Amino acid sequence: MRRNQNGQPELLDEEQNGQEEEEQEESQSQQIYHSGSVTPEGGRHKIHCLTIIGQVEGHYILPPQNKTTKYEHVIPQLVSIEQDSSIKGLLIILNTVGGDVEAGLAIAELVSGMKTPTVSLVLGGGHSIGVPLAVSAQYSFIAPTATMTVHPVRMNGVMLGVPQTLSYFDKMQERITGFVCQNSRIPPERFKELMMNSGELVMDIGTVLDGEMAVEEGLIDSLGGLNEAIEKLYQLIESQPDKEEPEDPPAKGAKKAQAPGPKKKPAPAAPGKKSPGRPRKKREAAAALPVMPPLPPTSQAGTEPPPKRRPGRPRKEER
């Protein structure tokens, strides 16, 4: 370390780079600790890595010994990623046993509606509500050793034994089925058949799909690992058209600005001729028109003639 003219310590370029790297590592470690996500630097493009692990926690807080993903932490991250122009892609890594249906669907709907390129990678397992989360990305991968459990909606706890409860379950199941089939290549009939399979699970109904079976059924796009997922995300980023900044709209009532240029002068009139102008009003012609005399008053029918004047005294004769 050297000192400047004022005696203050001056850092070298190597020391400054070392301090910047330490600050970046510290911020990334804090980001991983608080939100389970990281925005790595140094790649071909800047991407954000979001992990959905354990159980998706919904409106009720789970016990502290459960490994959970809180949807109130994930949703603001997705909004921030979509608005941050420096982040070019999103990588979602899943290892989840499922969880709250509405919380999982909320996250899946946000991911499917993002304009930022997204790629999902299923590691370990993507069970229950993890299936919609896996297919919500633009392209999905699954490791060969990973599994996905497809089963109908279940609920534990006190429930009302009325027909309306079964109708509610049926509607919720239709929401999940419609979302999964809309964002993957599996037909709805086949997806329902896998859900209602009663010959595979011992204590439940449904189907467990490994990596190859999930790709064959059309639920996941391709087999792969981390390298394949990142390369596919880079391809989606590079295939996007360049964004052009929109021009500010003109203010209301403002006139359009004209391009500066030489003003056109009027052509000179020929000698002896006056330039045409606005025609004058011909007052003389209007005055030359004949004036019609006023019409005599018409006598009304049934009216008496005016009375004659009373004769006065005769004048005296001059003597």
- Could you write out the three-class secondary structure of 82-126? HHCCCCCEEEEEEEEEEECHHHHHHHHHHHHCCCCCEEEEEEEEE
* Range ranked top by mean pLDDT from 37-46, 107-116, 309-318: 107-116
* pLDDT bucket at 154, cuts 50 / 70 / 90: confident
Q: Is the pLDDT of residue 41 over 60?
A: yes
Give residue 54's pLDDT: 93
pLDDT value of position 159: 81
Rounded Cα distance between 86 and 78, Å, is: 14
Question: Whose CA is closest to 211, among 201, 199, 219?
Answer: 219
Query: With the C-alpha atoms ordered 25, 143, 228, 107, is the resulting torsion angle positive or negative?
Result: negative
Q: Residues 128, 136, 140, 184: which is the catalytic one?
A: 128
- Both tokens of 278, joined, read 């606005």
List the catalytic residue out of 120, 127, 136, 151: 151
Q: Tokens for 149?
A: 């459990």
Percentage, residues of the chain above pLDDT 70: 65
Mean per-residue pLDDT, 87-92: 96
* Gap between the Cα atoms of 229 and 236, Å rounded: 11
Query: DSSP character for 4?
Result: -
CA distances from 294 to 287, 290, 291, 297 (A): 18, 13, 9, 9
Annotate 15-51 with b (16+ C-beta within 10 A) or e (fewer): eeeeeeeeeeeeeeeebeeebbbbbeeeeeeebbbbb
pLDDT of residue 99: 93
Average pLDDT over residues 169-181: 94
Confidence at 38, pLDDT banded by 50, 70, 90: confident
pLDDT of residue 69: 93
Give the closest residue to 234 by CA, choosing from 77, 136, 91, 50.
91
When the pLDDT of each residue in the chain is averaged and rounded to a whole number, the result is 80
Look up 151 and say whether it is catalytic: yes
pLDDT over 70 (residue 268): no
Separation between Cα atoms, residue 114 and residue 68, nearest integer Å: 24
Among 58, 67, 54, smallest CA distance to 94 is for 54
Say which residue, 32 or 252, is predicted with more confidence. 32
Predicted model pTM: 0.68
Residue 29 pLDDT exceeds 80: no
CA distance 238 to 229: 14
Residue 225 φ then ψ, to 5°: -125, -155
pLDDT per residue as tens digits for the range 178-229: 999 999 999 999 999 999 999 898 888 999 999 999 999 999 999 999 999 9
Phi, psi of 267 (to 5 degrees): -65, 135
Q: Report residue 55's pLDDT band, with 50, 70 and 90 as the boundaries.
A: very high
Residues linked to residue 2 through DSSP beta bridges, in sequence order: 10
The arithmetic mean of pLDDT across residues 269-279, rounded, is 54
